[in-house]
């Protein structure tokens, strides 16, 4: 529901954005199924969904429907640090590794955090096995 490392909370405010951080310096931490973070992502998601998440980011942790909408918004529309959306990575054969790059690549890919990447791949493989589906190739970013 929320990012567990509270020490990170004050680091997700890009005050250079023209709208600033009206909910406070430490208000834009990771929330929801894809851990939406940063004031610019809350602004963009809120604008796309017709919800004022810039001024009230807590809705993502308090309202499950809002949490899921932000997760689906990011999955389907945002490249993040990658070159494609996570959705496009999966449906167009780029593989699970590209979903990692699109969601958290600047922190985990290109050798930055191999243990975390391995943990994500292991979890993905477990889910694929439970569902009885082939995991595909390109598992790592």
> pLDDT tens string for the chain (141 positions)?
999 999 999 999 999 999 999 999 999 999 999 999 999 999 999 999 999 999 999 999 999 999 999 999 999 999 999 999 999 999 999 999 999 999 999 999 999 999 999 999 999 999 999 999 999 999 999
How confident is the model at residue 3, as a pLDDT?
A: 97
Question: SS in 3 state form for 47-112?
Answer: HHHCCCCCCCCCHHHHCHHHHHHHHHHHHHHCCCCCCCCHHHHHHCCCCHHHHHHHHHHHHHCCCC
Structure tokens at 43: 């602004």
CATH class of the domain comprising 6-77: mainly alpha
How confident is the model at residue 109, as a pLDDT?
A: 97
Residue ranges of the chain assigned to CATH 1.10.530.10:
6-77
How confident is the model at residue 4, as a pLDDT?
A: 96
Structure tokens at 111: 């050798």
**Who contacts 127 (Cβ-Cβ below 8 Å, separation ≥6)?**
none
């Amino acid at each position: 529901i929320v990012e567990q490392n509270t020490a990170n909370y004050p680091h997700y405010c890009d005050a250079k954005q023209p709208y600033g951080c009206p909910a406070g310096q430490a208000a834009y931490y990771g929330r929801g199924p894809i851990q939406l973070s940063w004031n610019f992502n809350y602004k963009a998601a809120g604008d796309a969904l017709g919800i004022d998440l810039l001024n009230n980011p807590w809705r993502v942790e308090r309202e499950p429907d809002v949490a899921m909408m932000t997760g689906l918004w990011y999955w389907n529309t945002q490249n993040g640090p990658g070159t494609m959306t996570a959705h496009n990575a999966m449906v167009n054969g780029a593989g699970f590794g590209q979903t990692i790059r699109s969601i958290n690549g600047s922190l985990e890919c290109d050798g930055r955090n191999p243990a975390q990447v391995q943990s994500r791949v292991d979890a993905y493989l477990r889910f694929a096995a439970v569902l009885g589906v082939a995991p595909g190739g390109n598992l790592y970013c």
